[in-house]
């Protein structure tokens, strides 16, 4: 509690911290003062109670940083009445038009009714940053008033009135200044972009308006880990980033405290711990306010602004302006960050769209047939741009090269390597009849680029010689090809070999198998054989073999078999999104109703 200021007449002003224990002390002091003023004993009890209730009321409505602001009490005794004014800095409350008696069974909510019952009038003036409750009790008429006290009273009343007017004028001026700042800020915002220059300009303006000596604006970094100095009134080379969140109280920092507790932190030169505060490099005698920049619950940063020297605090009006500018700035900074992120996302979207178009362009536009040999294929990317690739290329009058590849990873890099793979594949179709040698050559040409990026490609090449009824297969880290025929169950054709891009000078083995009558060949990537079921189990190769057996038995077309495969995959995975790309090539020997119309002319 502060030292009482007793005016020469009959008034008393006191301030106390915003807590109920201090209020009790104030109530006692006011009782003692009124006793010296000759207030009757029964009235003393009432005023002690009124003071306590009004003060407690202010404490209960205080929140956040406003708890740090003191409550002011002024009591004045005139010949006609005793008046108590309580000024608080809380958000205040809605004063009811009529103060009703509380519910007799309720445990709380009696304070206002008590005050009203014990006084003649209560006036509650609610302001943006301060509220004033004026409680008055008229004196009983006095038969022979004394002249002397009346003169003294008038003097004190005038003084109090002048003080009130001065406070009101200051509040009005601060409100006007705040409004003016908002208008200028908005006008500036319409003219210019929110960038470093805009922020620096407004911080300099704020420093000038509030007569501050210095400021530091820290912003939360993009990883949400640190508070980094973005702007400061002086060189801040030594102001290192502050970690977030900072619940560590061992290293005191007003900025970190404001950020962590999301409240204004006031400080003055004599404050314990300030000597170790990182801000100390700005000067030895710092006082001011650290204000968290919070937008919709998201911490943007902390603005700390202050003056040098003791006993030089900001006025309520100046604090009002600091809050206004800081909160406006926070909103604009957040908007600018959102805008930047949106543009970045649009650019990435566009890049992916281009990559996706490139990837779609790599796949064959149609699936060629040679004689009775028909092909069906598809590629489903797990992401917008996948790493799977396939191709079906007629070679000469009776040859068909089938290629399936899976570039490690997904997204843009995988799509780019798929493009490179396709270019190389089409560059040496002369190697198609010997897929093993073809893989040797592809490995040699991809090795350097893939090694540099620690990437690799699994691939499988199959060459179908329809004239010789033979298939030649070579693989690089790829699942086995499945071959089915009318006379025997589906068999796996292993094509073992490490993926492309890992080992230099490799010679890939090549398998040769005769093609049975009504043959079905299935090539696929591991996204199919390793599809996950609802219990996390992998699909495996067996269901694919059974599908092929069934296809041969039923004489299905390639389209029907692909449909059955998709239906089965959908049921097995419970139609959940795929984790990996899925690519399938199916070749079926199937006489066409009109073979001439279905055949696609082979490339020379």
Partner 1 sequence: MSLLPIPAVLRLASTGDLDATNSIAFREFVRAQLTPETAHLELDLAATRFLDSSGLGALLALGKCMRLRGGTLRVFNAQPRLGPAISALRVDQLIEIVQP
Q: What are phi and psi of 270, to 5 degrees?
A: -85, 0
Closest C-alpha to 463, from 441, 432, 508: 432
Half-sphere exposure of 55 (CA within 13 A, CB side): 30
**What's the closest the beta carbon of residue 345 comes to partner 1, in angstroms?**
53
Closer Cβ to partner 1, 113 or 441, answer by number: 113
* β-bridge partners, 16: 71
Greatest Cα pair distance, the chain, in angstroms, is: 137
Closest C-alpha to 600, from 392, 369, 433: 369
Closer Cβ to partner 1, 32 or 530, answer by number: 32
Closer Cβ to partner 1, 41 or 247, answer by number: 41
Summarize as ranges the residues that interact with partner 1 (CB under 8 A). Answer: 20-21, 23-24, 27, 42, 45-46, 48-49, 52-53, 56, 59, 101-102, 104-108, 110-111, 113-114, 117-118
* β-bridge partners, 403: 391, 461
Closer Cβ to partner 1, 41 or 143, answer by number: 41
Closer Cβ to partner 1, 10 or 57, answer by number: 57
**What's the closest the beta carbon of residue 237 comes to partner 1, in angstroms?**
50
Q: How far apart are the first and last CA of the chain?
A: 102
**What's the closest the beta carbon of residue 104 comes to partner 1, in angstroms?**
5
**What's the closest the beta carbon of residue 73 comes to partner 1, in angstroms?**
16
What is the side-by-side strand order in the sheet with 488-493?
373-380, 582-589, 520-524, 481-485, 488-493
Give the Cα separation of 182 and 328 in Å (integer): 8
What 8-state DSSP symbol labels residue 329? H
Report which secondary-structure segment, H or E, holds 60.
Answer: helix 41-61
**What's the closest the beta carbon of residue 49 comes to partner 1, in angstroms?**
6
Give the Cα separation of 586 and 316 in Å (integer): 79
Closer Cβ to partner 1, 115 or 217, answer by number: 115
The first and second tokens of residue 602, run together, are 């082979």
**What's the closest the beta carbon of residue 69 comes to partner 1, in angstroms?**
19
**What's the closest the beta carbon of residue 295 comes to partner 1, in angstroms?**
36
For the four alpha carbons of 575, 577, 578 and 582, in that order, the dihedral sign comes to positive
Closer Cβ to partner 1, 54 or 455, answer by number: 54
* β-bridge partners, 85: 74, 134
Closer Cβ to partner 1, 23 or 305, answer by number: 23
User: In angstroms, what CA-CA distances link 93 with 124, 133, 413?
Assistant: 9, 11, 61
**What's the closest the beta carbon of residue 23 comes to partner 1, in angstroms?**
7
């Amino acid at each position: 509690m502060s030292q009482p200021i007793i005016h020469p007449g009959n008034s008393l002003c006191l301030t106390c911290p915003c807590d109920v224990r201090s209020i009790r002390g104030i109530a006692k002091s006011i009782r003692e003062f009124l006793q010296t003023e000759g207030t009757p004993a029964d009235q003393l009890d009432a005023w002690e109670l009124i003071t306590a209730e009004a003060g407690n009321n202010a404490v209960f409505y205080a929140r956040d940083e406003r708890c740090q602001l003191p409550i002011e009490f002024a009591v004045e005794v005139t010949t006609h009445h005793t008046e108590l004014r309580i000024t608080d800095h809380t958000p205040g409350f809605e004063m009811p038009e009529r103060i009703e008696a509380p519910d007799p069974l309720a445990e709380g909510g009696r304070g206002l009714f008590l005050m009203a019952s014990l006084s003649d009038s209560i006036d509650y003036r609610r302001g943006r940053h301060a509220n004033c409750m004026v409680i008055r009790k008229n004196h009983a008429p006095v038969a022979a008033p004394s002249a002397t006290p009346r003169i003294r009273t008038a003097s004190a009343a005038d003084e109090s009135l002048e003080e009130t007017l001065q406070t009101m004028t200051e509040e009005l001026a601060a409100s006007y200044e705040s409004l003016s700042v908002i208008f200028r800020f908005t006008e500036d915002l319409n003219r210019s972009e929110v960038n470093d220059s805009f922020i620096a300009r407004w911080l300099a303006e704020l420093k000038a308006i509030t007569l501050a000596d210095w400021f530091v604006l820290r912003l939360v970094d993009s990883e949400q880990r640190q508070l980094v100095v973005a702007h400061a009134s002086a060189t801040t080379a030594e102001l290192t980033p502050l970690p977030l969140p900072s619940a560590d109280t061992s290293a005191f920092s007003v900025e970190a405290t404001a950020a962590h507790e999301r409240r204004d932190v006031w400080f003055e030169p004599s404050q314990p711990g300030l000597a170790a505060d990182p801000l100390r490099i700005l000067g030895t005698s710092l006082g001011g306010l650290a204000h968290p920049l919070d937008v919709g619950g998201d911490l943007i940063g902390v603005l700390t602004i202050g003056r040098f020297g003791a006993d030089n605090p900001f006025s309520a009006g100046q604090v009002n302006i600091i809050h206004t500018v800081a909160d406006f700035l926070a909103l604009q900074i957040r908007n600018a960050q959102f805008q930047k992120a949106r543009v970045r996302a649009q650019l990435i979207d566009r890049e992916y769209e281009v990559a996706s178009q490139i990837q779609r362009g790599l796949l064959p536009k149609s699936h060629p047939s040679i004689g009775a040999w028909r092909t069906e294929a598809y590629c489903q990317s797990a992401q917008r741009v996948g790493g799977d690739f396939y191709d079906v290329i007629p070679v000469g009058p009776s040859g068909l090269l089938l290629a399936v590849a899976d570039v490690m990873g997904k997204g843009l890099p995988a799509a780019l390597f798929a493009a490179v793979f396709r270019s190389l594949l089409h560059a040496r179709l002369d190697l198609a009849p010997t897929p093993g040698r073809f893989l040797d050559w592809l490995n040699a040409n991809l090795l350097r680029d893939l090694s540099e990026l620690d990437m690799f490609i699994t691939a499988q090449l199959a060459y179908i010689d329809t004239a010789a009824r033979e298939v030649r297969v070579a693989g690089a880290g790829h699942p086995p090809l499945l071959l089915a025929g009318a006379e025997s169950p589906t068999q796996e054709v292993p094509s073992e070999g490490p993926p492309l891009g890992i080992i230099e000078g490799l010679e890939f083995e090549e398998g040769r198998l005769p093609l049975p009558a009504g043959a079905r060949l299935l090539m696929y990537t591991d996204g199919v054989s390793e599809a996950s079921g609802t219990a996390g189990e992998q699909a495996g190769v067996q269901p694919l073999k059974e599908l092929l057996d069934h296809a041969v038995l039923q004489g299905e077309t390639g389209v029907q078999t692909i449909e059955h495969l998709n239906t089965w995959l959908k049921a097995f995975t419970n139609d959940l999104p795929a984790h990996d790309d899925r690519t399938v090539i199916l070749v079926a020997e199937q006489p066409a109703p009109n073979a001439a119309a279905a055949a696609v002319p082979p490339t020379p």
